[in-house]
Amino acid sequence: MCGIAGVAGKNSKALVKKMLEAIKHRGPDGSGVYSNGDITLGNVLLNITGDAPQPLTDGGALTYNGEIYNFREIAQRLHIATDSDSEALFTLIGAKGMEAAIPELDGDYAFACADGEKLHLARDPVGVKPLYYGTGAGFAFASEKKALSAIGINEIHTLKPGHMLTYSAGKITEQKVAGFAAGEPITDENTASKALYEALGRAVKKRRYMPCALAFSGGLDSSIIAALCPEAELYSVGMEGSHDIMQTKKAAQLLGLSDKLHLHELSIGEVESALPDVIRAIESSDPLKVSIAMPLFFASTDAHNDGIRVMLSGQGADELFAGYKRYESMNPAELELALKKDLDNIAGNNLERDDAVTMVNAVELRVPYLDSEVVELALRIAPELKVHNSVRKYILRLSARKILPHELVFKEKKAAQYSSGIYSALLKLARKNGFMGERALGRYLEKLSSELI
C-alpha cells in the first residue's frame, strides 16, 4: 500500500517531489522517484507485501498502490521467485502488455506505467484504490487530490474504476479494461447461501494479515468478518453512551471475542480537535461524509498507535445485498437497477473517503465484501433473495447463520453517523460555534474547511 504520483511535462521531477510531500503520510517507510525525459513517477511506501522499492524500472517504470492477492500464482506462471506483488505485476505487464495483464489481476489496485513517451494509468474494477489526474503544464496523476492541488492543478478528474488511461503527445484516451463476469442467475436460497458463505470465507482469508484490525460496529457485516477472522483486533468508536458502544460490547461478548475489543468512547472535545484532520484528509466538508469518516479516523488512529497497518471493513455489503432502508419499497426490477447503480458509484460515495481517512494514519483498509468473486456472485443472486418479506440482506443473513448467533444474524442496521453519536455531536459543535438554523452544520464545516485552505 502506498501513495503514487507522476507528471509528464516540464520540470516533472521537481513537481513530483512536491506532490509526494503532500501525501507522505501514505508511505512512512520510504520514497522513490524515477525520471526519463519529461516523465517522472514517484512513490511513498507503506511496506505490507514484500520489500521491493518503487518505482520499479527495467526498460519502463511502474509505480503502484494496492494489493494483488494472486501475485504468487502470477509469479509462478511467469517463472519468477518473488515475495513482492509489485514485482509480479511489473513482470506481468512486461510480458503481456498492460491491457492484457489487467484481467489476470485479483486485487485492489491503482498504478501507473511509463513506456517510452507514453504514460498508462489503471484502477481496479470497484475502485477500492483511488486515482486522480489533471492537466496544467502537462499531465499529472496522484493517489490524492491534494497532491495535484499542491502543484496548481485545480480541475481534477477521477479515473473510473476498471478503466485504463493513456497519455501520449498531449492526448488522453480512456477505455474500460476490467469488470465483473456475468453468470446464470441464482434463485435458490440454499444454493446462494452456501456459495456466499464460501466466497466470503475466501475473501476474508486472502485479506487476513497479522497483526490485523477490524473496524467493528457490532452489526451484521462486521460481525461476519469478525467470526471469519477471529485473530483480528476489534476497534470500535462512538460517543460516550452511544448505540455503537453498547452494541459492540454485546456483539463481542456473543462472538466470544471480548478480549479482542478495543473501545474508544469519544468526548466532544476529541471530536472537535479531530475535525480539521478529518476534513483535510477527505478533502470535503460535506456533513454526511465527515460524520461517517470520523469513527473510521479514530479507529485507524488507535490501530496505528497499536502498531497495526491493515484494517478490515464491512464496506460494500449494503450495496451488494440491499442493506439500506430505501431498498425495502422497491420491486425486484427496481431493486436490481438500484443496487447496480450504487455499486457503480460506491468508489466516489464511500471508498475514496474511507481510503483517505485511514491512510492519513498509514493504515491500509481492506474490504472483503468487494472481493471480485463476492461481487460477481452477488450480481447473480436474485433480488428477491436480497429483500425477502421486508427483511433486508436476507441472503447474507442466511449465510451468517453458520457462524453468528441468532441475535446478530437479525440485527437491524443503523447508519454509522447516527449510531455512533457523531452526527449529534457535530450539531452541538455547530451550535456552540454560533451556527443556528437550516444547514447550520454544513455552514460550520464549510467555515472550518475554508480556514484550512
**pLDDT of amino acid 338:** 98
Tell me what pLDDT residue 179 has: 94
Q: Check residue 49 and give its pLDDT.
A: 65
Q: Compute the mean pLDDT over every residue in the chain, rounded to the nearest whole number.
A: 94
3-class secondary structure, 42: strand
Q: Which of 38-42, 68-72, 242-246, 310-314 has the lowest mean pLDDT?
A: 242-246
Answer yes or no: are the C-beta atoms of 49 and 7 closer than 8 Å.
Answer: no
Nearest to 2 by CA among 102, 112, 80: 112
CA dist 396 and 34 (Å) reads 46
How many C-beta atoms surround the C-beta of residue 119 within 10 A?
24
State the catalytic residue, choosing from 2, 113, 212, 229: 2
Pairing mode, strands 138-142 and 118-123? unpaired
Statement: residue 417 has pLDDT above 80: no
Stated as kind and residue range, the H or E segment containing 388 is strand 387-388
> Can you say whether the dihedral through the CA atoms of 121, 124, 129, 133 is positive or negative?
positive
What is the model's pLDDT at position 339?
Answer: 98
How large a percentage of the chain has pLDDT more than 90? 89
Query: Is the model's pLDDT at 176 over the cut of 70?
Result: yes
If you average pLDDT over residues 242-270, what whole number do you get? 95
Residue 305's pLDDT is what? 98
Q: Is residue 198 predicted with pLDDT exceeding 90?
A: yes
Give yes or no for residue 118 having a pLDDT over 70. Answer: yes
Q: For 10-59, what is each residue's pLDDT tens digit?
A: 999 999 999 999 999 998 888 999 999 999 999 998 877 656 678 999 88
The pLDDT score that the predictor gives to residue 411 is 78
Q: Are strands 261-266 and 233-239 parallel, antiparallel or unpaired?
A: parallel
- Report the pLDDT value the prediction gives residue 412, as an integer from 0 to 100: 76
* Buried/exposed code over 163-172 (b: 16+ C-beta within 10 A; e: otherwise): bbbbbeeeee
Contact 225, 232 (CB under 8 A): yes
pLDDT band at 117 (very low <50, low <70, confident <90, very high): confident
- Where are the domains positioned within the chain? 2-176, 189-432
Q: How far apart are CA 233 and CA 304, in angstroms?
A: 12
pLDDT tens track for 145-161? 999 999 999 899 999 99
Q: What is the mean pLDDT of residues 238-243?
A: 89
Do residues 245 and 265 make contact, with C-beta atoms less than 8 angstroms apart? yes
CA-based end-to-end distance of the chain:
27
Mean pLDDT throughout 331-335?
Answer: 97
Decide if 147 contacts 19 (C-beta within 8 A). Answer: yes
Q: Cβ(197)–Cβ(321) under 8 Å?
A: no
Clarify whether 2 is annotated catalytic: yes
Alpha-carbon distance 240 to 192, whole Å? Answer: 40
- Residue 226, pLDDT > 80, answer yes
- Over range 79-108, report the average pLDDT: 94
Q: Which fold has domain 2-176?
A: Glutamine Phosphoribosylpyrophosphate, subunit 1, domain 1 (3.60.20)
Query: What is the full DSSP assignment across 40-65?
Result: EEEEEE---S----SSEESSSEEEEE
Angle, helices 352-359 vs 287-305, to 10°: value is 40
DSSP H/E element including 66? strand 61-68
Assigned architecture for domain 189-432: 3-Layer(aba) Sandwich (3.40)
Model pTM?
0.95
Q: Measured between alpha carbons, how far is 33 from 94 in angstroms, rounded to an integer?
A: 20
Task: Please check the confidence at residue 1 and state whether its pLDDT lies above 70.
Answer: no
- Alpha-carbon distance of 4 to 12, in angstroms, equals 14
Contacts of 358 (CB under 8 A, 6+ apart): 296, 297, 300, 311, 364, 365
> Distance between CA 79 and CA 410 in Å, rounded?
48
Please check whether residue 45 is in contact with residue 82, taking contact to mean a CB–CB distance below 8 angstroms: no
pLDDT at 232 over 70: yes
Please tell me the distance from the alpha carbon of residue 239 to that of residue 60, in angstroms, as a whole number: 50
Q: Percent of the chain having pLDDT more than 70?
A: 98
Q: Which of 167, 230, 171, 164 is nearest to 201 (CA)?
A: 230
* pLDDT value for 46: 81
Q: What is the DSSP letter of 59?
A: S
How many helices and strands in the chain, by DSSP H and E? 20, 19
Least confident of 277-281, 352-356, 437-441: 437-441
